[in-house]
Amino acid sequence: MNRTAPLVLGIESSCDETGVGIVRGDTLLTNAVSSSMEEHVRFGGVIPEIASRAHLDAFVPTLRQALDEAGVTLDEVDAIAVTSGPGLAGALMVGVCAAKALAVATGKPLYAINHLVAHVGVGVLDGGELPENLGALLVSGGHTEILRVGSLTSDVQLLGSTIDDAAGEAYDKVARILGLGYPGGPAIDKLARQGNPKAIRFPRGLTQPKYMGTAEAPGPHRYDWSFSGLKTAVARCVEQYEAAGQELPVADIAASFQDAVVDVITSKAVLACTEQGITNLLLGGGVAANSRLRELTAERCAAAGISLRVPPIRLCTDNGAMVAALGAQIVMAGGQPSGVDFTPDPSQPVTSIHLPAA
């Protein structure tokens, strides 16, 4: 196998995006993505079964598109990489079965890749090698995590995460309460620009001293987040306006909600970085598209002397190129293939960067 600049095909199906990306070493060749987002709109959130059905129908067309765009054949591919978790079980199964079938059909080595670490690995496609003392803040509809990345291929540690809803999920739920439709992130981000972020003081979850502790004696959730209470606070606030027969200040609520989310995400992330010796931060996940999150992360990182890297948005949202990118890094680092016997793991921990052969 070519381990210098391997041609790697990456497959992603952990949520509602069917992605097939192809890289050569750390160079992106193509990133084909088919999304079932439209089918989830009327439900106000991703429905796993609908997403899984869409993956089955989208996979081969997306694969064909990726190969055509990159101008490569399956024969030329050095290795195949697939998201094995974390993610929605039924959705993961489709990508994993397809990837295993490709490996059986072509005889190419298969790598079972961690979805979250792939969100970090994608960074190499835009700006090359990642810096040392690296941290990653991942914010999406399914995830909110802060990671310490000692080595992309062998040492990743979870510093903190949401203990309930993901940040993007909170956006979706609040957008529903405010009647702004799905997906909630872009709608709230847009409306928030016209509102006063200080109009209503919404709670910042897990920031009380009993959860935070101190740097020397950290509390149980020093770097963790919680957004379910915030969502409920928005619902109660809306009800109070309605009960009083007052017009709902939708823009102010959206701005105040966004302020609460972004404030607590960035403050805890920067705290984790400063206390854990992290001097370079990568921001990833679909919510990296949020204008306020980007702005405040940049501001607070600058103030703390942390360099910030944000990949282009099409590489931040779920895609196959990120899986291929991490796969290629693992191949180049001499990693052994996972084989075709592995079990997809819906709650694969970040410490499991790629699965060993069964």
Partner 1 sequence: MLILAIDTSAIASAALLNGEGETLAAFATEDTKSHAEVLAPGIQKLLADAGVSGGQIDAIVTGVGPGPFTGLRSGIATARTLAFAWNKPLHGLMSLDAIAVDAALDAWRAGVDEFIVATDARRKEVYWARYRSTGGTAELLDGPHVSSPAEVPGLPAYGAGAGLYPDVLRTVQDFAGAQPTAEALGRTAVVRLVRGLELLPDLPLYLRESDAKVPGPRKRAL
Applying CB under 8 A, the residues found at the interface with partner 1 are 42-44, 47-50, 52-53, 55-56, 59-60, 63-64, 74, 89-90, 93-94, 96-98, 100-106, 176-177, 235-236, 239-240, 243, 340-344
Residue 283 CB, shortest distance to partner 1, in Å, is 31
d(CA 247, CA 199): 15
With respect to partner 1, which residue has the nearer C-beta, 10 or 135?
10
* Residues 283 and 308: beta-carbon distance below 8 Å: yes
d(CA 166, CA 140): 7
| Residue 178 DSSP class | T
With respect to partner 1, which residue has the nearer C-beta, 74 or 313?
74
Residue 160 CB, shortest distance to partner 1, in Å, is 30
With respect to partner 1, which residue has the nearer C-beta, 61 or 218?
61
With respect to partner 1, which residue has the nearer C-beta, 76 or 239?
239
With respect to partner 1, which residue has the nearer C-beta, 108 or 268?
108
Relative orientation angle of helices 167-177 and 184-192, to the nearest 10 degrees: 70
With respect to partner 1, which residue has the nearer C-beta, 3 or 176?
176
Residue 95 CB, shortest distance to partner 1, in Å, is 8
Going edge to edge, which strands form the sheet with 7-12? 27-35, 17-24, 7-12, 79-85, 110-114
Amino acid at 153: T
Q: Using alpha carbons, list the distances in angstroms from residue 129 to 72, 121, 126, 271.
A: 25, 9, 9, 25
* Residues 136 and 322: beta-carbon distance below 8 Å: no
Residue with tokens 């996940």: 285
Residue 17 CB, shortest distance to partner 1, in Å, is 16
Q: 159 Cβ partners below 8 Å, 6+ apart?
A: 135, 146, 147, 148, 223, 272, 276
Residue 243 CB, shortest distance to partner 1, in Å, is 6
Residue 61 CB, shortest distance to partner 1, in Å, is 10
With respect to partner 1, which residue has the nearer C-beta, 93 or 163?
93
> Tokens representing 307?
């360099």
Query: Residues for the chain: how many in total?
Result: 358
Residue 47 CB, shortest distance to partner 1, in Å, is 4
